[in-house]
């Protein structure tokens, strides 16, 4: 494999990992909001 292809694949993997972290954060925040909302009902 060419170095360019290896670099590209590593960049894609990094982007996917960042996206997953973002989704996890959004999910966590949504759960926290739901918990807070239930507390004030």
Across the chain, how many H-helices and E-strands are there?
Answer: 1, 0
The pLDDT, as a whole number, for residue 19 is: 98
Report CA 29 to chain centroid distance, whole Å.
12
The pLDDT, as a whole number, for residue 36 is: 86
Taking the C-alpha atoms of residue 38 and residue 41, their distance in angstroms, rounded to an integer, is: 5
Q: Which residue has the higher pLDDT, 26 or 32?
A: 26
Asked whether the whole model's pTM tops 0.95, one would answer: no
Taking the C-alpha atoms of residue 35 and residue 14, their distance in angstroms, rounded to an integer, is: 32
Q: Which residue has the tokens 């807070």?
A: 36
Taking the C-alpha atoms of residue 24 and residue 37, their distance in angstroms, rounded to an integer, is: 20
């Amino acid at each position: 494999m060419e170095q360019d292809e290896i670099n590209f694949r590593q960049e894609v993997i990094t982007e996917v990992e960042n996206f997953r972290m973002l989704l996890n954060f959004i999910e966590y925040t949504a759960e926290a909001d739901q918990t807070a909302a239930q507390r004030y009902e």
